Amino acid sequence: MEDPVISNKVKASHMQATIEHLQKITVNYSGRLSAIPEEAYCHKPGPGKWSKKEILGHLVDSAQNNIRRFLVAQYEDTPVILYNQDKWVDLTNYQHYPTRDLLSLWILLNRHICRVLRRLPPGAATDGRSLRSVERQSDVSACRQRQ
């Protein structure tokens, strides 16, 4: 039988590692993303492809959906969070969004995710509740296709 105290410590350790990893990504990439020229952000590589600015907007949308997922999963047994990434990017019009504002929003949302994750009760991510949202495609495959 699994010792719940040890199990919760292991889960807390994994969550702390996840939080630290997200913090490092946010710090490391915020500088890199700030250095990209505006023209490069706005360039669309082809019809139906997202610009770098739209990809960043998609990451903002994903962060918002993840925050909702982490919170709702704590009080609903089988949360269903719908997210149509193409519609969100189109309706938000990220192509014409101020790049600095979009980057600031991405940074702040990732910081907020870290705060939310710190407050998750031990085992919240592995207690059998679904933390997945219903999406047309995964974030990673969508970003690869859009480039």
Q: Tell me the per-residue pLDDT of 59-101, one tens digit each, with 9 for 90 and over.
A: 999 999 999 999 998 899 888 889 999 999 999 999 999 999 9
Please count the residues of the chain. 147
CB 40 within 8 A of CB 52: yes
Confidence tier at 135 by pLDDT (50, 70, 90): very low
Residue of 134 and 101 predicted with greater confidence: 101
Range 10-32 burial, b when 16+ CB lie within 10 A, else e: ebeeebeeebeebeeebeeeeee
CB 123 within 8 A of CB 14: no
Confidence tier at 136 by pLDDT (50, 70, 90): very low
Pairing between strand 134-135 and 82-83? parallel
Calpha distance 130→111 (Å, rounded): 23
Angle between helix 99-118 and 4-34 (nearest 10) = 170
CB 113 within 8 A of CB 68: no
The domains of the chain, with CATH numbers, are 4-146 (1.20.120.450)
pLDDT digits (tens, 9 = 90+) for 29-44: 999 999 999 999 999 9
pTM over 0.95: no
Q: What is the chain's mean pLDDT, rounded?
A: 84
